[in-house]
Amino acid sequence: MTLVIAEQRGGVLNPATWETLAAAQQMNAPVTAAVVGARVQDTAAELAAADVAEVLAVEHEALEPYTPDGFVAALAQVVEATGPERVLFPHTYQTRDHAPALAARLGRVLIPDCIGSKDRDGQRVFVRPMFQGKFVADVLPEGPAPHFASFQIGAYRADACVRGAAAATVREVAVQLDAAAIRQRPEAPFKEAKQAVDLTQAERIVAVGRGIKGQEHLPLAQELAKVLDAELAASRPICDSGWLPMDRQIGSSGQTVAPKLYLAVGISGAIQHLVGMKGARTIVAVNKDADAPIFEVADYGIVGDLFEVVPAIVAALDGD
């Protein structure tokens, strides 16, 4: 059995959970999903739409708000009670926070940030990138089950998660937690930057590069992002010049994203940028240089002046 740990916050399911369920469904073993928190009945019901054997609703007052100690204690009990072959997580910040501690608590291996998995002679091998995506390594977990692994966001498609013919059963799982043993007391969440943006969650991204020429032309890209309901991002030179904040930078020194649509405007496609966005499902590039490497990864390419092409796209979409 493969146990997938869903992530929810305030009753809202993190969509990366569907991607991890998709990964689990391809492993030729029954899948069970578990969702952890103080009140998770709604998210558990939402998860039950997936083609899974059952959904475990793990509720306890001490699990809200999130603390690594609370989650490690609860998940350790769930894992011990259900005895899965493997436990999978979406590779979110929260997973990075508690999954290593959980694996260590149970004395099991954790293979983080995977992008795939395969069966090799009956053994489950996990695939993960190394050296900034230059290489991929096949990793065979050793030691007794369960093995822990987390999946990079965007490695699987959320809509690849197979839905069940009927809703799966939701089973409540009781856990024993001692609130006094939780050593962390979270403060109210805050975002450091005023408009901090999590580009990894964006479904559509419009990214601008040096072809935009000057900060005064940025509204053009902003307009395009608006009509597409997309987030605005940029290549390094734009953020380096301070035209956009650094949290909008895509690439090896910025964020790695995998949206459904990535529209690269005036980006030549240096490899440092490509490693941050090549996982996007559909890549559209606008560049006046037909030899620009961005066209090697683009699904659709427009060779042309962005100052003509972008307004035309905006006009076409606005007319809808």
Partner 1 sequence: MERETLDVDVLVVGGGPAGLAAAYRLARLNAEQGGEPLMVAVLEKARAAGAHMLSGAVLDPSALTDLMPDWKSRGAPLDVPVRDDRIYFLTARRALPFPVTPPPLRNHGHYVVSLNRLAKWLAEQVEAAGVDVFTGFAGTELLYEGDRVVGVRTGDRGLDRHGERKGTFEPGVDIRARVTVLADGVRGNLTKTLIRRFGLDAGRSPQSYAIGIKELWDVDPDRLPAGSVIHTMGHPLRHEEFGGGFIYALPEGRLSVGFVAGLDYRDPLFDPHVAFQRFKRHPLVSNLLAGGQMVRYGAKALPEGGWHALPRCHADGALIAGDAAGFLNSMRLKGIHLAMRSGMHAADAAFRAVREGDVSGARLSEYARLVEEGPIRRELYPVRNVHQSFAGGLLAGLLYSGMSLVTGGWWFRDPMPSHAGHERTRTVKRYFGGGVPPEPPGVPIDRALTFDRLTNVHYSGTRHDEDQPSHLLVADTDICRTRCIEEYANPCTRFCPANVYEIVDADAGAGKRLQINASNCVHCKTCDIMDPYQIIDWVPPEGGGGPSYEGM
Interacting residues with partner 1 (CB under 8 A) = 131-132, 134, 210, 213-216, 236-237, 239-240, 246, 249, 252-253, 270-272, 275, 293
Q: In sequence order, what are the residues at sequence separation of 6 or more whose Cβ sits closer than 8 angstroms to the Cβ of residue 253?
A: 236, 272
* Identity of the residue, 25 or 268, whose beta carbon is nearer to partner 1 in the bound complex: 268
CB of 277 to partner 1, least distance (A): 14
Give SS3 for 232.
strand
CB of 97 to partner 1, least distance (A): 19
Spatial distance between the Cα atoms of 276 and 279, rounded to a whole number of angstroms:
8
Backbone angles phi, psi at 315, to 5 degrees: -60, -40
Six token digits for residue 22: 């998709």
* Identity of the residue, 275 or 314, whose beta carbon is nearer to partner 1 in the bound complex: 275
* Identity of the residue, 93 or 319, whose beta carbon is nearer to partner 1 in the bound complex: 93
Six token digits for residue 103: 């694996």
CB of 238 to partner 1, least distance (A): 12
Residue whose tokens read 């030691």: 143
Q: In sequence order, what are the residues at sequence separation of 6 or more whose Cβ sits closer than 8 angstroms to the Cβ of residue 178?
A: 62, 73
* Identity of the residue, 41 or 252, whose beta carbon is nearer to partner 1 in the bound complex: 252
CB of 241 to partner 1, least distance (A): 8
Q: In sequence order, what are the residues at sequence separation of 6 or more whose Cβ sits closer than 8 angstroms to the Cβ of residue 276?
A: 250, 251, 252, 254, 255, 256, 257
* Identity of the residue, 217 or 226, whose beta carbon is nearer to partner 1 in the bound complex: 217
Can you point out the beta strands (E) in the chain?
2-5, 8-9, 12-13, 31-37, 54-59, 86-90, 110-114, 116-120, 123-130, 135-139, 147-151, 169-174, 204-208, 231-234, 261-265, 282-287, 300-303
Spatial distance between the Cα atoms of 309 and 8, rounded to a whole number of angstroms:
40
* Identity of the residue, 157 or 213, whose beta carbon is nearer to partner 1 in the bound complex: 213
Question: Which runs of consecutive H residues, i.e. helices, occur in 83-191?
Answer: 93-106
* Identity of the residue, 142 or 192, whose beta carbon is nearer to partner 1 in the bound complex: 192
CB of 253 to partner 1, least distance (A): 5
* Identity of the residue, 96 or 213, whose beta carbon is nearer to partner 1 in the bound complex: 213
User: Quick check: 112 and 96 in contact, CB under 8 A?
Assistant: yes
CB of 311 to partner 1, least distance (A): 21
CB of 236 to partner 1, least distance (A): 8
CB of 214 to partner 1, least distance (A): 6
Q: What is the CA radius of gyration of the chain?
A: 22
